[in-house]
A = this chain, B = another copy of it.
Amino acid sequence: MELLNFKPIGFIKTPFKSKEGMPIQSTGAQGVKGTIEIEAEYIEGLKDLDGFSHIILIYHFHLSKTYELSIKPFMDDNLRGIFSTRAPKRPNPVGFTVVKLIEIKDNLVHIENIDVIDGTPLIDIKPFIPDIDSPDVQKLGWLQGKSDKMGVKKSDNRFIE
């Protein structure tokens, strides 16, 4: 099968130097500041992005070297299918998070509420557009009644690989 090849457009600098103790999602990273250092060749593509208050980051879980199809997520004690979780040990270790955009200067994109480990390779940036990105959700599966606690739950070492 065809392989897909991507190249990081930049790297995300954050205060989180190790996986242990970091927030598991952006709601647990309220106020945490980070900076995206965009590679020089892509700076032109940042034009107009500063008009948006929130941006989508698609990034590489670069510390995940293997994957598991069933895992115990941080918010649960049962084994769950990996695609029903946001855990990093995925067949394609791609992460998704929405952060607040503070300011763009040259190749530096200053952001807030960032929940990734320092040095994370960035694959793409997109504007967050509520009309298309905020559906009217009815069911939350195994996370029902738990997702509001994602803000206080911290990571441990279970996904270190």
Contact = CB atoms under 8 A, between A and B. Distances in A.
A47 interface: yes
Given A7-B4, A70-B47, A134 B130 contact: yes
Interface residues of A, number: 71
Q: How many copies does the complex hold?
A: 2
A49 B141 CA distance: 7
Given A1-B8, A92-B6, A92-B9, A140 B51 contact: yes
Nearest to A87: B126
Interface of A: 1-9, 25-27, 39, 42, 44-54, 56, 58, 60, 69-70, 80-86, 90-92, 94, 96-98, 100, 121, 123-135, 137-144, 147-148, 150-151
A115 to B, nearest CB: 9
A123 B94 contact: yes
The 5 closest A-B pairs by CB, nearest first: A51-B141, A47-B81, A48-B84, A53-B139, A44-B69
A123 to B, nearest CB: 5
